[in-house]
Every structure is written in structure tokens, then in C-alpha cells.
């Protein structure tokens, strides 16, 4: 028998040619309800639910189209319409909505690398940590405690009283689709004149130092090179480049003008303002409460940002970001960003804060830091 005849016999043989169905035992309804199927013919569409019946009719029409080639195209169209195409987006807007749905908060986000001497943590919640069900420390009777506004207010108030600070920074970034090695840096900051100093402490970039003071030293980034930083240039060589130069941005996702926790606090504050206005163009922000991270001995107060496509140039397809603040100082201590498929693209961990401290011009003077050899 040809395949076409088999198909015809499968779907269009008279039902009386098949043996009767045995009642399903144990129902107590005389076998009038569900029955145990003992043959291969499809059920009658009227015996199914409206949705299943529509699908069965569509399938029957599609099979009849195989027997009547002249009507195949029209029957195929009718079948698709009747079936409803539930697995296909009805419009471009539906497709965008489905992509946005994939960025809804998930219980666990993975980080890319490990913390030295510790097991690699999850993002939400930490695998080896616990969510701390206690309110974060803050001013007594603070009506904003336990809120996004409270997180920003404590950070901004504390930072306003800090003119200088020293901190250790652990950084991991993905640049041009490639994961860069983890870097460990000493970071010094001064508000006026705005000044930053970095010294690489780990194996990656060991010996490199960077100083930038806005408006001074030709308004250029002063760099002491590490081994391998520049072809044909030895370690210890000093160079100066513009902050806007492609060379300055080649090894970092952000401009040096965005360095420091002050920039993080400003960005978080803008997110809180937009959230309170109901403006989701920068993304949605969700308060997580306090949680214990493997990087720290004390709990952090945290929030999660869902970033829509197109909101940030560095995340053109969207993603998510974890914001974590110290519960003692209120300052930002951990920021982790992931792209739309969950790959870590930014990891900035600040610890061992030192403030108040006193830093002067010599701490940011490249001629004092790296005296030229005579």
C-alpha cells in the first residue's frame, strides 16, 4: 500500500470498521466518560475541548490537502489559521515582549570567576550565603529604611562628608566580547581637584600605575607601564594619553572620569529617581533587602536592576545588574552586571575602605611618584 493510501486509511476509514472501545474500569459512571483508546484513528473533533478540536480539524484538513493537490495551498493556509500558531509571535511587539520576559529577575545569577581563596558566589541569592532578615543599619526612625530611596540617601549622605579615601578594587570586565583577567588594584581618590591614582597589585598588570588629575598635567592620563603593556616599551616607561583616546578605553568598559564610588552613587540615585517617577527607560529597580555575600564578612543591602535593550551602549541587548551597599558605612561595595544571556560583563568589588584620610598633591603628582632618571 502506498504512503498516500496509508494516510487516507489512517484518517478517513469508517469508525464502524474498528472494534468498540472498552470502558475505563473503576469510574463508576457506566463507562460513559473517558475510554481507553485501542485503535489508531483520531478522536472526533466534537469530542475534544474547543482548542484541541480546532487543532484536530486543522490537521484533518492538512491531510486532505495531500489527497487533493489542487487544494493544498488553500487548505494549508486554513490549517495554520485554525491551529492558531501558538508557538509563533503574533507581531514584532510580541517578539520583543518575549525577549523582555527572559530578563525578568531570576533566583540565581552566576558570576564568571572566583574570589581568591573562596568559592565562586552566585549573584542572587549567594550559594554559600544567606539572606539576612534584618533591617539595615541607618538613622533612627528613618522612614526610608529598607527602601531604594533609603539606600541612596545613606550612601549620598556618607559620601558628602568624605573628601579623600583609599580602597582596594577588584575588577573583572568583558571587552569586545572577550573576558579580561581579574585585576587587583590600590585606588586613591580626592574630590578637589578631582584626582585618581591606581596601582596594580596582583599578577595581572603588576607594576602598572596610573594618575589622572582633571585640568592638570596637560589634562592627560599619566601611566607607568607594566611589562608587556606596549610593544617595544620596557616596564617602567612613562607615557601620557588623553582620557578620550581609544588607547585609554582599550582596556576598560568605562572612562576614567567615571572612576570611584561617587559615580556609582550618582548612577544609583538617577535610577531611584526614575523608578519613583515610573520611568523605566533606564530599567526597573527591585529592592532585595540584606544578603550575605562571600566577598564580605558582613551583610550587604542590595538591589537588582533589569536593563532593557538599548538603555546602555555597553549592554545593547539589555541585561541585569546587582547593586550592593555596605550596611555599616552605606557606601557601594559591589556592582555586578550581566548581559542578556547571563554572562558576567562587569564586576567591581570595593573593600578595605580607609577614610577619613589625608591625601595631598604629592599623592597625585607623577613627577613625585615616578622621578625621572637623570
Are residues 241 and 224 in contact, defined by beta-carbon separation less than 8 angstroms? no
- Does this model's pTM top 0.85? My answer is no
- Residue extents of the structural domains in the chain: 3-23+39-88, 131-369
Are residues 243 and 254 in contact, defined by beta-carbon separation less than 8 angstroms? no
Decide: residue 243, CB within 10 A, 0-12 exposed, 13-18 middle, 19+ buried.
middle
Quote helix, strand, coil % in the chain, to nearest 5: 30, 25, 45
Residue with the three cell numbers 574570589: 115
The answer to whether domain 131-369 has CATH 1.10.510.10 is no
Residues 6+ apart with CB under 8 A from 290: 131, 132, 133, 134, 135, 136, 299, 300, 301, 302, 327
**Predicted local confidence at residue 146, as pLDDT:** 76
Per-residue tens of pLDDT for the chain, all 374 residues: 554 444 444 444 444 443 443 433 333 434 433 333 333 444 544 545 555 555 555 555 644 544 444 444 444 333 433 334 334 334 444 444 444 444 444 443 455 644 443 333 344 433 333 444 444 444 433 566 679 999 999 999 999 999 999 999 999 999 989 999 999 999 999 999 999 999 999 999 999 999 999 999 999 999 999 999 988 899 999 999 999 988 887 778 999 999 999 999 999 999 999 999 999 999 999 999 999 999 999 999 999 999 999 999 999 999 999 999 999 999 999 999 999 999 999 999 999 999 999 999 999 999 999 998 76
Amino acid at each position: 500500500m502506498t504512503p498516500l493510501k496509508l494516510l487516507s486509511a489512517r484518517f478517513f476509514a469508517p469508525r464502524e470498521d474498528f472494534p468498540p472501545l472498552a470502558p475505563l474500569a473503576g469510574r463508576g459512571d457506566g463507562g460513559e466518560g473517558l475510554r481507553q483508546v485501542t485503535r489508531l484513528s483520531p478522536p472526533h473533533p466534537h469530542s475534544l475541548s474547543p482548542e484541541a478540536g480546532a487543532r484536530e480539524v486543522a490537521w484533518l484538513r492538512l491531510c486532505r490537502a495531500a489527497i487533493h493537490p489542487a487544494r493544498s495551498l488553500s487548505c494549508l493556509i486554513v490549517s495554520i489559521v485554525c491551529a492558531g500558531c501558538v508557538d509563533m509571535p503574533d507581531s514584532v511587539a510580541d517578539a520583543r515582549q518575549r525577549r523582555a520576559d527572559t530578563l525578568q529577575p531570576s533566583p540565581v545569577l552566576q558570576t564568571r570567576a572566583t574570589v581568591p581563596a573562596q568559592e565562586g558566589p552566585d549573584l542572587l541569592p549567594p550559594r554559600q550565603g544567606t539572606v539576612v532578615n534584618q533591617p539595615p543599619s541607618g538613622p533612627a526612625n528613618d522612614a526610608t529604611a529598607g527602601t531604594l530611596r533609603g539606600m541612596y540617601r545613606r550612601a549620598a549622605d556618607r559620601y558628602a562628608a568624605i573628601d579623600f579615601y583609599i580602597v582596594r578594587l577588584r575588577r573583572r570586565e568583558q571587552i569586545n566580547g572577550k573576558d579580561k583577567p581579574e585585576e587587583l588594584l590600590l585606588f586613591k581618590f580626592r574630590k578637589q581637584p578631582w584626582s585618581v591614582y591606581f596601582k596594580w597589585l596582583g599578577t595581572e598588570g603588576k607594576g602598572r600605575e596610573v594618575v589622572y588629575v582633571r585640568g592638570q598635567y596637560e589634562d592627560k592620563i599619566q601611566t607607568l607601564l607594566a611589562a608587556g603593556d606596549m610593544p617595544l616599551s620596557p616596564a617602567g616607561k612613562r607615557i601620557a594619553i588623553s582620557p578620550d583616546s581609544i588607547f585609554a578605553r582599550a582596556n576598560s568598559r568605562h572612562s576614567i572620569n567615571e572612576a570611584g564610588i561617587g559615580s556609582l552613587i550618582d548612577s544609583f540615585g538617577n535610577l531611584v529617581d526614575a523608578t519613583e517617577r515610573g520611568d523605566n527607560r533606564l530599567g526597573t529597580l527591585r529592592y532585595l533587602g540584606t544578603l550575605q555575600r562571600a566577598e564580605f564578612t558582613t551583610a550587604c543591602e542590595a538591589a537588582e536592576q533589569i536593563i532593557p535593550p538599548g538603555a546602555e551602549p555597553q549592554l545593547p541587548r539589555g541585561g541585569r545588574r546587582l547593586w550592593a551597599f555596605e550596611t555599616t558605612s552605606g557606601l557601594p561595595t559591589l556592582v555586578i552586571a550581566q548581559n542578556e544571556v547571563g554572562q558576567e560583563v562587569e564586576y567591581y568589588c570595593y573593600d578595605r575602605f580607609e577614610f577619613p584620610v589625608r591625601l595631598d598633591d604629592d599623592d597625585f603628582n607623577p613627577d613625585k611618584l615616578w622621578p625621572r632618571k637623570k
